[in-house]
Structure 1
Amino acid sequence: MTTRTAAQRRTEGRLSYQARFTACPANRLIERLGDKWVAVLLNELADGPRRYGDLARAIAGASQKMLTETLRNLERDGLISRTVTPAVPVRVDYALTDLGRSLLPVMAVMKQWAEQNIDRIDSAREAYDARDR
């Protein structure tokens, strides 16, 4: 039996925790939804399929690179589908999949909770920041 130092035990504990955290389904979903443009894109697609240009105009703050990257990630996750229609110019439509649509009620509850509680969070932050330290 080898003896481990306290630092080695802490490192092992940290690595074990990180492995559990990374594997946790809730944490993985929150990480995906926490990406800057994900919620906005999902909400834009809630009413039906949209073309890339329509999404770009609706989400004016997102760069082309970020919009494209976010759409690809959502497609990879199975939350949206991408349909290419051969034409001149090529038409690309994005739509929520059944899996993506099933996420909308969850997002609606999160939005409602945030709207009901953000003032309390802001007040708590202000009180915390005003404390003498």
Structure 2
Amino acid sequence: MAEPQESCTSPEHGLTRVFQVLGKRWTGMIIAALMSGPGHFAELRRAVPGISERMLSDRLAELASLGLVLRCVEEGPPLRVCYRLTEAGLALKPAMVELTRWAEECLPEEGARCPEQFRA
């Protein structure tokens, strides 16, 4: 007897897990901002227009807990916090590049251009 296939609605399903993370507002843009290199909180806030400080802080903490972002404290004064993608976070780049390519081909929208680092 064949084993039942895993349902796409199952929390264990890979695609479901991906979209539980990347499907949250701002998460993809934060990852995109960090693809070009480490950034301080204020730099990330400027790189993701419209995000509040609270939301940026929450998303960065979530990405750090998932092992996608590393939070580094730079001794001061002033004390500064820098964020960078981990190996797992950097491994998202090919998928992000492909999603950007697909969006530009299939979801035309005036004035909405992808970040330069995701253009093939």
Q: Into which bin does the TM-score normalised by the smaller protein fall?
A: 0.7 to 0.9
* CA displacement at 1:60 relative to structure 2: 2.7
Q: Distance in 1 between matches of 2:45 and 2:102?
A: 28
In our comparison, the structure showing a higher alpha carbon Rg is 1
* Equivalent residue, structure 2, for 1:113: 102
Percent identical: 32
Which secondary structure does the structure 1 equivalent of 2:24 belong to?
coil
Q: Distance in 2 between matches of 1:110 and 1:69?
A: 24
C-alpha root-mean-square deviation of aligned residues, in Å? 1.8
Give me the TM-score of the superposition, normalised by structure 1: 0.71
* Equivalent residue, structure 2, for 1:103: 92
* Equivalent residue, structure 2, for 1:26: 15
* CA displacement at 1:39 relative to structure 2: 1.0
- Answering whether residue 56 of structure 2 is matched by residue 81 of structure 1, we say no
* Equivalent residue, structure 1, for 2:27: 38
Q: Give the unaligned 5+ runs of structure 2.
A: 1-6, 109-120
Q: 1:61-98 deviations in whole A, cap 9, x for unaligned?
A: 00011000000111111111000012122110000101
* CA displacement at 1:30 relative to structure 2: 1.5
Structure number with higher helix proportion: 1
